[in-house]
Amino acid sequence: MFELVELLSQVNTKIFRILSPIVKVYHISLTELVLLWKVNKNGTYRITDLAKEVGVPFSTLTGVFDRLENKEYLVRIHDSKDRRSILIQGTPKLKELIDTVIMNADSELTGLLDTLPPGFIDRFLVDLTQLHTHLLQKETDIKNG
């Protein structure tokens, strides 16, 4: 079973390596792109929740958010439900960045994966989504005892 972990890691590394030149043009890292993509997709995040979701320590993300805020991709806002909490929200500049980068990344990946059998990527996405959902449920079950 550990072969699955190794293989997923290798695929992830190769995809990141392929996409890295596309992202570097915008002076951000792939890790920053993943964070920006999540914020753009979901609207707002508590910093602590996003840190947990991406598996990065909160203290590490603080510096990343500072850099991305300075580039005007993110803003920090107070949570109206909990005045002690700070939320991260994307800006219009973030939306423009994500639209451009994702279009370029999709184009690059489509060219690289176009020789795979028809329907492979669609089936793979369904399977990965199912695996992710299953693991989230198991994680929740473990936390709840």
Residue with tokens 């999540």: 38
Q: So what's the pLDDT on residue 53?
A: 83
Distance CA 62, CA 76 (A): 11
- Residue ranges making up the domain that contains 83: 2-114
Residues of the chain with pLDDT under 70: none
Q: So what's the pLDDT on residue 127?
A: 95
- How many structural domains does the chain have? 2
Residues 41, 79 within the same domain: yes
Q: So what's the pLDDT on residue 126?
A: 96
pTM, full prediction? 0.77
Residues 24, 65 within the same domain: yes
